[in-house]
Amino acid sequence: MINADILKIANQASLNIIAYDQFVSIKHKLRLTDKSIWGVFLFLCGGLFFIIVPFATTSDTISKGVGIVIGVLLVFLSILTLVREVLDGIIIENNIFTFRHNLKKTTVPLSRDMKIEMKTEILKIRRVGTKGSDFILVTHYLQEKDKKTPVLKFQMNGSHAEKARKLGNEITRIVNDKFENRT
C-alpha cells in the first residue's frame, strides 16, 4: 500500500500510481493547469492559424503551401506531444514489465537481474530581466546487464525538489520490489 503523502506528491507531479500485489501502474495525467500543456496548446493554435490564414488573406499559391506545411507540422507535433503525455508510463502485470517512453512501447518479462535506477537533474532556465524558473527532472532507467533504458520521466517545480526525490525513490522501491518478488 502506498501512503497518502506519496500519492499527494504524485498528484502534484501529474502522476497516477496504482499498486497492488500483482499489479503496478504509474502513468502521467494530462492536466490543463500545467504550463507546459498551455505551451503545447499554443503551438496547436499557431498551427491551425498557419493553415487557415493563408486562405483568408492571400491568393498566392506559394504562401498557401508554405502556410499549410508549417501549420500541419505544428499541429502534428502538438498532437504527438499530447499523446505522449497521456500514454507514457509503466505497467507491471502477470510478471510482464511494460513501459512506454516517448511513444515507444516495450514489453519484457520480469527478471531478478532487472533493476530500476533513478537520476535527478536540476534545470535552471534564466531570462534577462526575470527570475527565471527552476525545475527538477526525475528520470527512471531500467538497468539490464550493461543496458540502461529510460522508462519514466517526470518534472516538478524546483521548490518541490525534496518531494520529487521522495516520490522518485518511492517509485524506484515499488518497481524494484516487483522485480525481486516476481512469482
The three state secondary structure string of 122-169 is EEEECCCCCCCEEEEEEEEEEEECCEEEEEEEEEEEHHHHHHHHHHHH
pLDDT digits (tens, 9 = 90+) for 83-92: 888 888 999 9
Instruction: Tell me how far apart the alpha carbons of residues 5 and 106 are, in angstroms, rounded to a whole number.
Output: 30
Residue 108 one-letter amino acid = V
Whether the pLDDT of residue 31 is over 80: the answer is no
Q: pTM of the predicted model, to two decimals?
A: 0.81
Instruction: Tell me how far apart the alpha carbons of residues 139 and 119 are, in angstroms, rounded to a whole number.
Output: 5
Q: CA-CA distances (angstroms) from residue 30 to 94, 120, 180?
A: 27, 22, 31
Average pLDDT, the chain: 87
pLDDT digits (tens, 9 = 90+) for 91-105: 999 889 999 988 899
Domain ranges of the chain: 4-30+88-180, 36-82
pLDDT digits (tens, 9 = 90+) for 117-160: 999 998 888 777 777 788 899 999 999 888 899 999 998 888 88
Average pLDDT for 163-181: 90
Q: What is the pLDDT of residue 70?
A: 93
Whether the pLDDT of residue 74 is over 60: the answer is yes
Whether the pLDDT of residue 40 is over 80: the answer is yes
